[in-house]
Chains A and B, each alone.
Chain A
Amino acid sequence: MTPPDHPRPHTGLPAPQRPDLPADPRERWPHLRRVGIRLPLREYLRELWRRREFAITVPLGELKAQNQDSALGQVWHLLNPLLLIAVYYLIFGVLLQVEDRRGVENYLPFLIVGVIVFDFTRSSIQAGARMIVKNRKLVQSINFPRAILPLSAIVSEAISHLYAIPIMLVLVTLVQGGPTPQWTWLLLLVVFVLQSMFNLGISMVVARLSFHFRDVQQLLPFILRLYFYSSGVLIPINNEIIPNQTLVTILQLNPAYLIVEMAREAVLVGPLDPQVWLLGAAWSVAMLVGGFWFFRAAENEYGRV
Chain B
Amino acid sequence: MAVSEPATVSVSAGDPTVVADRVDITYRIYADSAPKLRKAFVRDRRQREYRAVEAVRDVSFVARSGEAIGIVGHNGSGKSTLLRGIAGLVPITRGDVYASSIPVLLGVAAALEPDLSGRRNVLLGGTALGIRREELEERFEEIVEFAGVEEFIDLPLRAFSSGMRSRLQFAIATAVTPEILMVDESLSTGDAEFKERSDERIRGMLDDAGTVFLVSHTMRSIRDVCTRVLWLDHGRLVADGDTDQVVDAYERHMGDLKRRRRKRGKRPPPETR
Seen from chain A, the residues whose Cβ lies within 8 Å of a Cβ on chain B are 1-3, 6, 8-13, 15-16, 18-19, 21, 25-26, 29, 31-39, 43-44, 47, 50-51, 53-54, 57-58, 61, 64-65, 68, 135, 137-146, 212-216, 299-301, 303-305
Interface-facing stretch out of B141-149, B216-224, B233-241: B233-241
Which listed residue (A19, A57, A304) contacts B91, Cβ 8 A? A304
> Which 6 pairs from chain A and chain B are nearest by CB?
A141-B107, A214-B34, A16-B240, A32-B98, A61-B113, A141-B110
Q: Considering the complex, give the chain A residue whose CB is closest to the CB of B33.
A: A214
Check if A61 sits within 8 Å of B116, measured CB to CB.
Answer: yes
Cβ distance A118 to chain B, nearest Cβ, rounded Å: 26
Bound-state CA distance A114–B112 (Å) is 38
Which listed residue (B38, B53, B97) contacts A35, Cβ 8 A? B97
Which listed residue (A1, A15, A31, A65) contacts B51, Cβ 8 A? A1
Q: Which of B114-153 contact A (CB under 8 A)?
A: 115-116, 120, 123-124, 127-130, 132-133
6 A–B contacts, CB within 8 A, in A order: A19-B19, A36-B97, A39-B1, A142-B105, A144-B1, A304-B91
Cβ distance A265 to chain B, nearest Cβ, rounded Å: 39
Instruction: Determine whether B202 belongs to the interface, using a CB cutoff of 8 Å to chain A.
Output: no
A47 cross-chain contacts in B, Cβ below 8 A: 1, 4, 130
Known: A13-B241, A29-B16, A44-B1. 13 other contacts (CB 8 A): A6-B233, A19-B62, A29-B19, A32-B98, A34-B96, A36-B2, A47-B1, A57-B124, A138-B111, A141-B107, A141-B108, A143-B130, A303-B84
Bound-state CA distance A300–B116 (Å) is 29
Bound-state CA distance A64–B113 (Å) is 11
Interface-facing stretch out of B187-195, B244-252, B261-269: B244-252
Interface of B is mostly: mixed
A6 cross-chain contacts in B, Cβ below 8 A: 233-234, 270
Q: Considering the complex, give the chain B residue whose CB is closest to the CB of A219.
A: B37
Check if B237 sits within 8 Å of A16, measured CB to CB.
Answer: yes
Cβ distance A247 to chain B, nearest Cβ, rounded Å: 28
Cβ distance A11 to chain B, nearest Cβ, rounded Å: 5
Interface centre among B4, B36, B99, B109 (most CB of A within 10 A): B4
Instruction: Determine whether B54 belongs to the interface, using a CB cutoff of 8 Å to chain A.
Output: yes
Check if A31 sits within 8 Å of B19, measured CB to CB.
Answer: no
Check if A11 sits within 8 Å of B253, measured CB to CB.
Answer: yes
Cβ distance A151 to chain B, nearest Cβ, rounded Å: 13
Instruction: Determine whether B15 belongs to the interface, using a CB cutoff of 8 Å to chain A.
Output: yes
A19 cross-chain contacts in B, Cβ below 8 A: 19, 60-62
Bound-state CA distance A213–B123 (Å) is 34
A304 with B27, Cβ < 8 A, contacts A26-B98, A32-B19, A142-B107 known: yes
Instruction: Determine whether B201 belongs to the interface, using a CB cutoff of 8 Å to chain A.
Output: no
B233 cross-chain contacts in A, Cβ below 8 A: 6, 8-9
Check if A15 sits within 8 Å of B238, measured CB to CB.
Answer: yes
Check if B130 sits within 8 Å of A51, measured CB to CB.
Answer: yes
Which listed residue (B116, B133, B238) contacts A9, Cβ 8 A? B238
Interface centre among A6, A68, A139, A301 (most CB of B within 10 A): A6
Which listed residue (B40, B123, B236, B253) contacts A57, Cβ 8 A? B123
Check if B249 sits within 8 Å of A12, measured CB to CB.
Answer: yes
A8 with B238, Cβ < 8 A, contacts A47-B1, A142-B105 known: yes
Instruction: Determine whether B163 belongs to the interface, using a CB cutoff of 8 Å to chain A.
Output: no
A144 with B99, Cβ < 8 A, contacts A6-B234, A16-B237 known: no
A140 cross-chain contacts in B, Cβ below 8 A: 84, 89-90, 107, 110
Q: Considering the complex, give the chain B residue whose CB is closest to the CB of A140.
A: B89
Bound-state CA distance A303–B3 (Å) is 16
A11 with B239, Cβ < 8 A, contacts A47-B4, A61-B115 known: yes
Check if B98 sits within 8 Å of A13, measured CB to CB.
Answer: no
Q: Considering the complex, give the chain B residue whose CB is closest to the CB of A146.
A: B1
Contact bitstring B83-103, A, C-beta under 8 A = 1, else 0? 011111111100011111111
Q: Considering the complex, give the chain A residue whose CB is closest to the CB of B105.
A: A141
Cβ distance B202 to chain A, nearest Cβ, rounded Å: 19
Which listed residue (B15, B61, B231) contacts A11, Cβ 8 A? B231
B34 cross-chain contacts in A, Cβ below 8 A: 214
Check if B52 sits within 8 Å of A2, measured CB to CB.
Answer: yes
Which listed residue (A1, A15, A145, A305) contacts B90, Cβ 8 A? A305
Which listed residue (A34, A39, A57, A144) contacts B98, Cβ 8 A? A34
